[in-house]
């Protein structure tokens, strides 16, 4: 019985030792596994750094996202963020850091301009090893507060020193900011820093005397613009009045010309009619017209003859012979005839000659006896 008990104790001892060794091995494996693996999260790259050997230093390519196995005795994995970073360098203690981080630069006149600057950037993953090898920093906050802030300030000084303060404060601010952004892009791009946005937060701060001078200049410019607008309005109103006056004068002139033309046409028509009447009148016709208006009464004293009017044919015909008179009368009648008025044969009929003899005259009453 004693021999059996001792046998069991020896077996139990061996089991304990075996379990202990397994436990130690497990701990060692777990420790080694934890020490030789790491995980690169999204938004980061892992940079493998050789600590020993002939190729010690930073490897050319970063490690992709995921679990990475490395030798902690000869290698180091540095996590480098590649997501967008936002920094603000401001005067306010309630934004950014508690002390003044604003940037001051000078204009071409030497006027100091102070501004709050905002910067958004990210790291190009393929160039992260180069950036880490240059600055030995994977803390982008420290990198932005040092190297990047100095670069941005130098770019503002370089661009601003070529511009007058009035342009910086006014319409030239956007162009200045674009030039500064381009300069920073050229400098940071070589290190793998990509600028997403560079802004001037709020208004620029200038010395009070400069602000007063700019405000006065802007006020004068505004007043000059208002004066030019008023002058342009007065000129427009004057031109409108002149145009209306010209229009009224032209209308009056055309009306006067129309009235004059109408008078001239009537005068010509009346002259033509009078000429036709003159040429168509003979002494016999005149005597007949006189008889038409005679009341039949004879004078109380007469020579016993009918008192008929007599006319000088040379006076009536204006000194022309009968053939010439008839020819002129025919021409006038042709001119006075409306266009298109023709006889059935298509020819214009010749004018009828004026009567050469007076119609029969009624007998006059016998003369009364004289007293």
Q: State residue 222's pLDDT score.
A: 81
Residue with tokens 């130098």, as numbered in its chain: 154
Q: What angle do CA 121, 206, 164 make, to 5 degrees?
A: 85
What is the distance between the alpha carbons of residues 132 and 111, in angstroms, rounded to a whole number?
38
| Inter-residue contact 359 to 282 (CB < 8 Å) | no
The dihedral of CA 234, 240, 243, 249: what is its sign?
Answer: negative
CA end-to-end distance (rounded Å), the chain: 220
pLDDT digits (tens, 9 = 90+) for 199-246: 999 888 888 888 788 778 778 888 888 888 888 888 888 888 898 888
pLDDT digits (tens, 9 = 90+) for 72-90: 776 777 888 888 999 999 9
pLDDT digits (tens, 9 = 90+) for 9-32: 667 666 767 776 776 666 665 555
| Inter-residue contact 127 to 191 (CB < 8 Å) | yes
β-sheet with 44-50: strand ranges across: 57-58, 44-50, 75-81
Phi then psi for residue 233, to 5 deg, are -65, -45
b/e sequence 94-111, b meaning 16+ C-beta within 10 Å: eebeeeebbbebebeeeb
State how far the alpha carbon of 293 is from the alpha carbons of 4, 17, 289, 303, 365, in Å.
Answer: 191, 176, 7, 22, 16
Confidence of residue 330 (pLDDT cuts 50, 70, 90): confident
| Inter-residue contact 195 to 119 (CB < 8 Å) | yes
pLDDT digits (tens, 9 = 90+) for 88-125: 999 887 777 778 899 999 999 888 999 999 999 999 98
> What is the DSSP track for 257-282?
HHHHHHHHHHHHHHHHHHHHHHHH--
Task: Tell me: pLDDT of 273 over 50.
Answer: yes
Coil, helix or strand for 87? Answer: strand
* Long-range residue pairs from 257-265, CB within 8 A, at least 24 positions apart, any chain: none
Alpha helices in the chain (DSSP H): 2-36, 128-135, 140-143, 149-160, 165-169, 173-189, 208-280, 283-292, 313-316, 322-336
Q: What angle do CA 194, 197, 199 make, to 5 degrees?
A: 140
Confidence of residue 152 (pLDDT cuts 50, 70, 90): very high
What is the distance between the alpha carbons of residues 173 and 198, in angstroms, rounded to a whole number?
13
């Amino acid at each position: 019985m004693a021999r059996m008990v001792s046998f069991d104790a020896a077996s139990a001892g061996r089991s304990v030792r075996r379990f202990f060794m397994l436990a130690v091995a497990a701990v060692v494996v777990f420790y080694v596994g934890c020490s030789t693996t790491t995980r690169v999260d999204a938004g980061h790259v892992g940079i493998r750094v050789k600590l020993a050997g002939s190729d010690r230093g930073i490897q050319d390519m970063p490690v992709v996202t995921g679990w990475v196995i490395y030798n902690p005795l000869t290698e180091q994995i540095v996590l480098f963020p590649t997501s967008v970073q936002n920094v603000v360098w401001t005067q306010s203690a309630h934004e950014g850091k508690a002390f003044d981080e604003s940037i001051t630069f000078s204009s071409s006149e030497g006027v100091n301009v102070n501004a709050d600057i905002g910067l958004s950037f990210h790291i190009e993953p393929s160039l992260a090893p180069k950036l880490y090898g240059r600055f030995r920093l994977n803390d982008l906050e420290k990198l932005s507060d040092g190297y990047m802030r100095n670069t941005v300030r130098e770019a503002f000084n370089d661009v601003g020193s070529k511009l007058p303060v009035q342009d910086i404060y006014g319409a030239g601010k956007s162009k200045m900011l674009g030039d500064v952004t381009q300069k920073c892009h050229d400098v940071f791009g070589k290190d793998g820093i990509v600028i997403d946005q560079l802004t001037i937060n709020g208004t620029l701060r200038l010395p009070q005397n400069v602000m007063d001078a700019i405000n006065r200049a802007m006020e004068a410019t505004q007043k000059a613009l208002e004066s030019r607008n008023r002058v342009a309005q007065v000129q427009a109103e004057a031109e409108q009045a002149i145009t209306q006056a010209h229009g009224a004068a032209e209308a009056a002139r055309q009306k006067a010309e129309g009235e004059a033309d109408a008078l001239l046409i009537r005068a010509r028509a009346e002259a033509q009619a009078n000429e036709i009447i003159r040429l168509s009148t003979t002494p016999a016709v005149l005597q007949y017209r006189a008889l038409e208006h005679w009341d039949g009464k004879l004078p109380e004293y007469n020579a016993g003859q009918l008192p008929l009017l007599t006319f000088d044919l040379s006076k009536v015909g204006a000194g022309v012979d009968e053939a010439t008179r008839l020819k002129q009368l025919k021409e006038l009648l042709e001119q006075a005839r409306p266009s298109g008025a023709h006889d059935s044969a298509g020819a214009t009929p010749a004018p009828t000659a004026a009567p050469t003899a007076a119609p029969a005259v009624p007998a006059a009453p016998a003369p009364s006896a004289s007293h």
